[in-house]
Amino acid sequence: MGIIGWIVLGLIAGAIAKAILPGRQGGGLIITLILGVVGALLGGFIGSAIFGIGLEEFWSIQTWIVAILGAILVLVIYGFVTGRSRKA
């Protein structure tokens, strides 16, 4: 998958992760989308290292699941680091 594909996947995964996580995370939409790209890369790395599942093809369901889970992980870590409450 090319770099543009990684970026688009990460942006969409970040938006989906933001919709899945309850409450209000700080940082706004731009930070969330950037963290989504980082999360997609992290999810692909962890998925390939542990399970042998990585970010292989843009339209593969396993790619999307790994990217979204990575984005959720990064958003949760970002919430802990910034000290923001996840309460609505």
The string of pLDDT tens digits covering residues 35-69 is 888 988 888 888 888 877 766 677 788 888 888 89
With a CB cutoff of 8 Å and minimum separation 6, the contacts of 45 are: 54
Task: Please say whether the beta carbons of 33 and 18 come within 8 A.
Answer: no
**Given this model, what pLDDT does residue 25 score?**
65
**Given this model, what pLDDT does residue 55 score?**
63
Cα separation, 69 vs 4, whole angstroms: 20
- Per-chain mean pLDDT for the chain: 80
pTM of the model as a whole = 0.80
Nearest alpha carbon to residue 28 among 78, 77, 80, 64: 78
**Given this model, what pLDDT does residue 51 score?**
77
